[in-house]
Amino acid sequence: MKLVLATGNKGKLKEFKALCQSEVVAFSDLLDEEIEIIEDADSFKGNALIKARTIYEKLGEGYLVIADDSGISVPLLGGAPGIFSARFSGEGASDKDNLRKLVNDIVAQGVEKTAGYYTAAIAMVSAYGEYVVHGWMHGWVVVHPRGDKGFGYDPIFIPQGYDKTLGELDEEIKQEISHRAKALRLAKPIMEMLQRKL
């Protein structure tokens, strides 16, 4: 039974493969058609479920579809960008565009460092039901990017207990402490249970 990841994000696919330590395929490897998924829920959980359900409906039984919705929230900015993290500076925005907008918004508040946290919701959809788990990573958002590892907002986020940004930290450390890793640890027993059934 195949684990299918409902994402086109290469960074996420790489992370999932490393964290799952099992065969994970991107849905685009199984479906020829272009699929536009409208993420219009008001929560990470809702958007993760939309993605997983959409791909599961295309593939049908025999697959376990996993989808993640994640992002960074800054309390100083009322929780922004939150669920809009991937399109914070507009539809089709690049990681650099989004990062630059977040930095500018924080600087506009007159600070160079503020509390922030990442949320990851992982949805699992199969013939045996739907499940969602969450993971969080708290820390600080800084306005001077450092490091070129990772993707997204990694160069401006310092996890609690560290003095380096995610853009500077080694992959092994990130796999231990990330919001996605924490959510995946909770998802793993559920995925294993579902795989035994399928």
For residue 130 the two structure tokens come to: 């739907």
**Whether 7 contacts 97, CB under 8 Å:** no
Query: Is 69 annotated as catalytic?
Result: yes
> Where are the strands (E) in the chain, listed by range?
2-5, 24-26, 63-73, 113-126, 129-142, 157-159
Question: Measured between alpha carbons, how far is 12 from 151 in angstroms, rounded to an integer?
Answer: 9
C-alpha 85/C-alpha 118 separation (Å) is 10
Active-site position among 69, 95, 154, 170? 69
Closest CA to 145 of 175, 181, 108, 101: 101
CA distance 183 to 39: 20
> Hey, which residues are catalytic here?
69
